[in-house]
A = this chain, B = another copy of it.
Amino acid sequence: MNALNVAEYMQTLGLQARQASAAMARAEAATRNQALRALAALLRASTADLQAANARDIDRAVAAGLAAPMVDRLKLTPKVIETVAQGCEQLAAMADVIGDIVGMRQQPSGIRVGQMRVPIGVFGMIYESRPNVTIEAASLSIKSGNACILRGGSEAIDSNKALAQLVRQALASAGLPAEAVQLVQTTDREAVGQLIAMPAFVDVIIPRGGKGLIERISRDAKVPVIKHLDGNCHVYVDAPCDLEMAVKVTDNAKTQKYSPCNAIEGLLVARAVAPQFLPRIAAVFEAKGVEMRCDADARTIIGEARTRAATEQDWSEEYLAPIISIKVVAGLDEAIAHINHYGSHHTDAILTRDHMHAQRFLREVDSASVMVNTSPRFADGFEYGLGAEIGISTDKFHARGPVGIEGLTSLKWVVLGNGELRS
């Protein structure tokens, strides 16, 4: 396709999505759930075909010399297929939120006013490598009564096409428009530029991928973007604090996995407990090979030989690796100021026994998730009971933090009267 053809093609997808979104918004919950269960059954029945399509992507990736972890992420194993099939069934079993009416109250004029939850319309999703995201996004779109346009990575195009074909079949089998979930069939990069600039057809964009990709999309998009750029998360060990618990939670927050955006990158310790706490956590980090980049006070306590000096840059860094920055702070005020200044407004926790400190931390730390006495690793749609997660937002407009089905909906006002007139 040339650029003109890509633009026309994307406009066609957009128009079809917009039309399909009206049918999806009208559809009963039972119908949408039927499509989800049909999709689960089709995924299981098509495991061999899906693996055949996936093998073409894998072969291309290997031939292109892609690194082994990247090739691994591409793989549609029977286990991955079973997992996404179960995900569809779990969504089908969840209560429906579309059509819920909340807060209906009678007003002095006599009218009753409330808010109804409705689908947002059409979302565009831009993602890389893992083909299972195609099913995760499609199933969330169906459950939430939206239409979507999916743009996966070019490296997974054969897998994604095979998956998208199953989604079309599942939708059609339930009497829903097959165009409610459309995969962009071209790998032309121009398609992304078009997708993010069609406000008439696409209501919101959800990018998943590297920071560079998300920055570009946010800059150029003509519609809202649900996104987070960084996960520079913190644990602050307060005084007084249960040090036994603090060691375990801090360890979990940093080392349970290094790559997720909700793993911590910074550790702040109140001066009053630093001499007791830091040697204990340092022993844990050392045993696991976690590099400690410390301010002068923390280095003095842990020892210069076991640590490196932190630079100003370290306080802002998202390592996603076995490296942690450590700073001794005077107390709560300095901890809150540090997190609000250097953090990424993603997820931050205080470990404390002081109730007033806990309340102030919750109120004053300006992050999407604020926690007391537990691990920032819990910042996740499933752990929060959302039943699903389409992404994480560090913005404050619309959805914030882990975004589930409600983030793909809006509340419209419903007014019921008996002939009342405005005077």
Contact = CB atoms under 8 A, between A and B. Distances in A.
A384 B107 contact: yes
Nearest to A257: B422
Contact of A26 (B364, B374, B385, B418): B364
A249 interface: yes
Interface string A221-259: 000100000000000000000100100110010001000
A158 to B, nearest CB: 34
B370 A415 contact: yes
A22 interface: yes
Interface string A334-371: 00000010000000010000000000001110111111
A37 interface: no
A370 B413 contact: yes
A370 B340 CA distance: 41
Contacts of A367: 412
Contacts of A242: 419
Given A118-B363, A413-B384, A419 B249 contact: yes
Interface stretch (A128-136, A161-169, A275-283, A394-402): A394-402
A318 interface: no
Contacts of A249: 419, 421
**Chain A: interface size category:** 35 or more
Given A203-B397, A413-B384, A419 B374 contact: yes
A383 B107 contact: yes
Contacts of A396: 120-121, 203, 410
Contacts of A143: none
B400 A413 contact: yes
B25 A385 contact: no
Contacts of A312: none
A373 interface: yes
Contacts of A160: none
A116 interface: yes
Contact of A374 (B22, B99, B417): B417
A363 B99 contact: yes
A113 interface: yes
A370 B412 contact: yes
B421 A401 contact: no
Contacts of A372: 415-417
A375 interface: yes
A120 to B, nearest CB: 5
A378 interface: yes
B383 A419 contact: no
Contacts of A204: 397
Contacts of A378: 109, 111, 415, 417, 420, 422
B416 A113 contact: no
Contact of A113 (B99, B368, B385): B385
A273 to B, nearest CB: 16
Contacts of A245: 418-419
Contact of A116 (B113, B256, B362, B385): B362
B383 A422 contact: yes
Contacts of A26: 363-364
A213 interface: no
A415 B374 contact: yes
Given A25-B363, A242-B419, A371-B415, 18 more contacts: A25-B364, A25-B366, A113-B384, A116-B362, A121-B366, A362-B414, A369-B413, A369-B415, A371-B416, A371-B417, A372-B415, A374-B415, A374-B416, A374-B420, A375-B417, A397-B397, A397-B398, A400-B412
15 contacts: A25-B364, A99-B363, A116-B363, A120-B397, A224-B397, A249-B421, A369-B413, A369-B414, A370-B413, A371-B415, A371-B417, A374-B419, A375-B422, A377-B422, A378-B415
9 closest cross-chain pairs (CB), A and B: A374-B417, A377-B422, A245-B419, A396-B410, A371-B415, A369-B413, A252-B421, A398-B398, A401-B413
